[in-house]
Amino acid sequence: MHISAPADITTLPVMEQFYTIQGEGVHQGKAAYFIRLGGCDVGCVWCDVKESWDAGKHPLWNVEVLVSQAAQFPGEIVVITGGEPFLHNLEPLISMLKLAGKKIHIETSGSSPVSGQPDWITLSPKKFKAPLAEVIPFAHELKVVVFNKSDFQWAEKFAALVSTECRLFLQPEWEKAAEMTPLIIEYIKSNPQWQLSLQVHKYINVP
């Protein structure tokens, strides 16, 4: 079956795409096809994919071709990440991926409105540009990156705003993991509504 994209949105800037396992959060360890889009308006100083920020530096991919690429792999999950994926209207890509039988997961800072109907939204709020209030209720998973001790208070601010069904995760910033992980563990022991998220893909050296 040939799936056509709407005429008004046929391309997206793509930094990279690859098939691997999800390394973080609720779906850690599951096979997933990642599509990393270019463009970000947040600019975290500790971002490990700063090359994704400028959308103009990345080639435009036809949405139909993106779907065709993802459909070649057996994993059900497609993760759309960035950069900040919701800077783009994702409705055409998401709807076409769903027609291809995929479950769509989005990793977002919440700085731009939600588009399309993803199956799972991981909200990772950043102090550099706080999420829009309208995005917060859509979160299935709240993942707060802990760079310093004040981030625990930042995490609780958003934990009070997400739905009661939203899963709560604290994740050490990679370069400060040795320092922050013990603090996160102690915090979770006192606040068991939270869980620890580790970037397992970095420990096992996969994309």
| DSSP assigned state of 104 | E
Q: pTM of the predicted model, to two decimals?
A: 0.93
Token pair 């800077």 in the structure block, residue: 87
Mean pLDDT of the chain: 94
Q: What is the pLDDT of residues 47-57, one digit of tens each?
A: 888 899 999 99
**What domain count does the chain have?**
1
Residue 1 lies in a domain: no
Residue 97 lies in a domain: yes
Q: What is the pLDDT of residues 63-92, one digit of tens each?
A: 999 999 999 999 999 999 999 999 999 999
> Which among 19, 20, 37, 42 is positioned nearest to 29, based on CA atoms?
20
Range of the domain at 54: 11-203
Residue 164 lies in a domain: yes
In the prediction, which pLDDT does 9 show? 58
Residue 6 lies in a domain: no
Q: Do 195 and 167 contact (CB within 8 A), yes or no?
A: yes
Residue 166 lies in a domain: yes
Q: What is the pLDDT of residues 93-144, one digit of tens each?
A: 999 999 999 999 999 999 999 999 999 999 999 998 999 999 999 999 999 9
> Which among 189, 185, 157 is positioned nearest to 171, based on CA atoms?
185
Distance CA 94, CA 117 (A): 7
Whether 146 shows a pLDDT value over 90: the answer reads yes
Higher pLDDT, 45 or 185: 185
Number of neighbours of residue 74 by Cβ within 10 angstroms:
8
- For the chain, what percent of residues have pLDDT higher than 90? 86
Token pair 């690859």 in the structure block, residue: 18
